[in-house]
Structure 1
Amino acid sequence: PTRTPDAEGETVSGYKLGPIIAYGGFSTIRCASSSTGGTVAVKIVRRSDIAQQQDPALARKRLDHEASVWLSLSHEHILPLFTAVHTSHADFFVTLYCPAGSLFDIMKRDGRPALPHDDAGMMFRQVVRGLRYLHEVARLVHRDIKLENILVDEMGVCRIGDFGMSMNIGELDVDDEDLLEMQMMQRQDEDENRTQSQGGGERRTTFAQAKRQTKPGLPVHLSMIRHHSGPRHRNSTPANDTTAPARPAQVFQTGSLPYAAPELLMPHFSTLARVDPAQDVWALGVMLYAMLTGRLPFVDTFDPRLQMKILHGVYKVPPGIGRGAELVLQGCIERSTSNRWTIAMVDAVAWGVGWG
Structure 2
Amino acid sequence: MLRLVPMRRRRRRRPPRALRARPRPRPRRLREGPPRPRPPLRPPLAIKVIHKDKILQYGMAEQLMREISAMKTLRHPNVLELYDVMASRSKIYLAMELAGGGDLFSRIAAGGRLPEDAARHFFRQLVSAVAFCHSRGVCHRDLKPENLLLLDVDGSPLPTLKVADFGLSAPLAGCLLRTACGTPAYTAPEVLRKRGYDGRKADAWSCGVVLYVLLAGFLPFLDDDIIRMHKKMLRGDFRCPPWLSADARRVLTGLLDPIPIAGRRSRSLRRRRGSRSARSREVCRNPRRSGRGRRRRRRRRRRRRR
Task: Please report the TM-score for the alignment, with normalisation by the length of structure 1.
Answer: 0.61
Whole-angstrom CA distance in 2 between matches of 1:289 and 1:274:
22
CA contact (8 A) 2:141 2:199 kept: no
> 2:66 aligns to what SS in structure 1?
helix
**Corresponding residue to 2:146 among 142, 148, 153:** 148
CA offset at residue 140 of structure 1? 1.6
Partner residue, 1:261: 188
* CA-to-aligned-CA distance 1:169-226 (integer Å, 9 cap, x gap): 2345346xxxxxxxxxxxxxxxxxxxxxxxxxxxxxxxxxxxxxxxxxxxxxxxxxxx
Matched, 1:166 2:169: yes
Q: C-alpha distance in 2, partners of 1:110/1:72?
A: 35
- Alpha-carbon distance, 1:69 to partner: 1.0
What amino acid does structure 1 have at the position aligned with 2:150?
A: V
Residue 117 (structure 1) aligns with: 116
Q: Which amino acid aligns with 1:173?
A: L
For 1:166, give the aligned amino acid: S
Deviations 1:77-117 (A, max 9, x none): 11111111122211111111111111101111222xx0122
Alignment of 1:165-244 (within 5 A): 165-169=168-172, 170-174=174-178
8 Å Cα contact 1:121/1:350 also seen in 2: no
SS of equivalent to 1:66: helix
Percent of residue pairs identical: 28
Deviation at 1:37, TM superposition (A): 7.7
Deviation at 1:275, TM superposition (A): 3.7
* Cα distance in 2, alignment partners of residues 46 and 122 from structure 1: 37
| Alpha-carbon displacement from aligned partner over 1:136-188 (angstroms, at most 9, x marks no partner) | x212211011111111112211011111111122345346xxxxxxxxxxxxx
Report which of the two has the higher share of strand: 1
1:333 aligns with 2:256: yes
User: Can you give the 5+ residue segments of structure 2 that lack an aligned partner in the other structure?
Assistant: 1-40, 154-158, 275-306
Which whole-Å CA distance do the structure 1 matches of 2:245 and 2:222 have between them? 23
Partner of 1:304: 227
For the 8 Å contact 1:324–1:349, the answer to whether it is kept is: no
Contact 1:98–1:154 (CA under 8 A) maintained in structure 2: yes
Q: Which of the pair is proportionally richer in helix?
A: 2
Name the aligned partner's letter for residue 143 of structure 1. Answer: R
- Match of 1:139, as an amino acid? G
Does the CA-based 8 Å contact 2:79-2:162 persist in structure 1? Answer: yes
**Cα distance in 1 between the residues matched to 2:42 and 2:190:** 48
With a CA cutoff of 8 Å and minimum separation of 6, indicate the structure with the bigger relative contact order: 1
Return the alpha-carbon distance in structure 1 between the equivalents of residues 273 and 237 of structure 2: 22
The secondary structure found in structure 1 opposite 2:75 is coil
Gap regions ≥5 residues in structure 1: 1-35, 176-249, 352-356
The CA distance in 1 between the partners of 2:110 and 2:64, in whole Å, is 31
Mapped contact 1:131–1:343 kept (Cα < 8 A): no
Select 2:46's aligned residue among 24, 41, 46.
41
Question: Aligned in 2, Cα 1:283/1:93: closer, same or farther, shift over 3 Å?
Answer: same
CA distance in 2: counterparts of 1:350 and 1:290, whole angstroms: 20
C-alpha distance in structure 1 between counterparts of 2:243 and 2:257, whole Å: 21
Query: For the structure 1 residues 327 and 150, does the alpha-carbon distance in structure 2 shift closer, same or farther, using more than 3 Å as the test?
Result: same
| 2:248 counterpart letter in structure 1 | A
Q: Take 1:104 and 1:350, find their aligned partners in 2: how far apart are those partners?
A: 23
Question: How far does residue 52 in structure 1 lie from its aligned partner after superposition?
Answer: 2.2
| Superposition pairs of residues 53-92 of structure 1, within 5 angstroms | 53=58, 56=59, 59-92=60-93
Amino acid at match of 1:289: Y
